[in-house]
Structure 1
Amino acid sequence: MARVLLAAALLAAPVAAYVSPTPGAGPESARPTAQVQLEPLEFEEQSQSQSVFGVVSAGFGVGALLGWLNSRKQQIASVAAASTIAMVPAANAMVEYENIQFLGGSDKVDINNANIQAYRQFPGMFPTIAGLIGTHGPYKAVSDIYSIPGMEEKFKNTVKKYEANLVCLPANPAYFIDRINNGMYR
């Protein structure tokens, strides 16, 4: 019953048309206006039973449509997923990066582009110091690490031990964004 009343309220709501006034047509206008006489329009009155029947039939139509959609959930979801996948553009991945060895594949680590996991090879640097390096930057030189806010003296001493193993290359957008979490876990 509540659905029928809701459908009746939504479908039987009156809609008023808005006609914008012409510019300068207000009472302050001094233009002469032509007198137009309008004849009253005659409308056929519908009986109460016809309008109620229209509302009820519209409610049944909406209910039937919602029931059909509910029974086809799996098919609709499959079509939506397939169309979404078909519309996704190809990723513009960098295939050849000339400094790939400094991202964790050698004993040298690039402080601007390497993920914090690359610092695991240096005892004492992972996770705290590596996290500080990864959350700040980009750096212009390796010595910029010592000016990180919150870097304690014991951390600076650890970094000094491995300073020869750190390089500072220009930040590459493809790798700089993934310095904290690149989605690779062990």
Structure 2
Amino acid sequence: QIARHVPTASGGLSTSDAPRGYRFRVLAVEAFPFGPECARIRDRGNALEAKVNVSFYDECTGSFHGATCSSAPEPAEMPASELTPGDTSVDPQNPVATLDVQHDAYFTTRVCDPRCLIVVEIVLVERRKKDGSVARETSAGWAAMPAVGPGGAEPTGAPGSAPVRQGSPRYLMWGRPRAGQHPPSQLGRAKLHF
């Protein structure tokens, strides 16, 4: 796991005396829509991969903090877009499939505040077939969920899911939630399972 670290902003979230360890397991992204850009990557003859970035976000100060952990890019198979006669549930321009992620992100932090969110960004990686280098990475959606329960209660470890939103989690750090702007729309029926 690759990690980058940003210190916690002062005057924001409640903290404990001792650091606590977390393991956050990203299982899969259900009903992920493979839009036109995925088809363009395939048509260029390049490989399509997916990875996730996992970060902490402070709702009080509107800033990300702690380590951002990234999974290794894994091949993402674009589903066939053929229609079954009479099936109106499939959009041939936007086929959906499940991205099997299976990534564990490990953190230690003193933060124990329900206003601390875990933010998961889904990233599409375009890899050149000729030399295996990365051509580009594009944010393909994100989800957010509380890191702890009400009053700072420890997470139970029970499986959960959260809707995936369109665009990039950078929406959060630009201060738009506190300015009253609504979050980006949900990305179809996509759900992050953790």
Flag whether TM exceeds 0.5 (same fold). no
**TM-score relative to the length of structure 1:** 0.17
Report the structure number with the largest CA radius of gyration.
Answer: 1
Which one scores higher on RCO, CA 8 angstroms, separation ≥ 6? 2
Point out the structure with the larger helix share: 1
**TM-score relative to the length of structure 2:** 0.17
